[in-house]
Amino acid sequence: MLKRKSYKDSLTLTVMKCELCKEKIDTTFLAKPVGTAFKDAKGKQHWACAACQRGKTKEELLAALK
Ligand SMILES: [Zn+2]
């Protein structure tokens, strides 16, 4: 019988990394990432930690990826 993956398991498999400073993004006790997700022109999702995101617009974050 197939064992269903628990919700918790699927969360731990997803390690968020800031794509600007390459640091792991911490999560709250509810497993909510302390950072921001933003999408590029192709619709690909990127993550930035709270420190890198601070004071930057989405456009500036995208520019910083390159
Ligand atoms: Zn960062």
Compute, in angstroms, the gap from residue 4 CA to the centroid of ligand 1.
34
What is the reported pLDDT for 2? 65
Compute, in angstroms, the gap from residue 62 CA to the centroid of ligand 1.
13
As residues whose CB is below 5 A from the ion ligand 1, the structure lists: 18, 20-21, 49, 52
Compute, in angstroms, the gap from residue 47 CA to the centroid of ligand 1.
8
**pLDDT single digits (tens) 43-56:** 999 999 999 999 99
Q: What are phi and psi of 7, to 5 degrees?
A: -60, -40
What is the reported pLDDT for 31? 84
Lookup: tokens for 30:
């509810």
Lookup: tokens for 8:
């918790």
Lookup: tokens for 1:
């019988």
**pLDDT single digits (tens) 2-45:** 666 665 555 555 678 999 999 999 888 888 888 999 999 999 99
What is the reported pLDDT for 12? 53
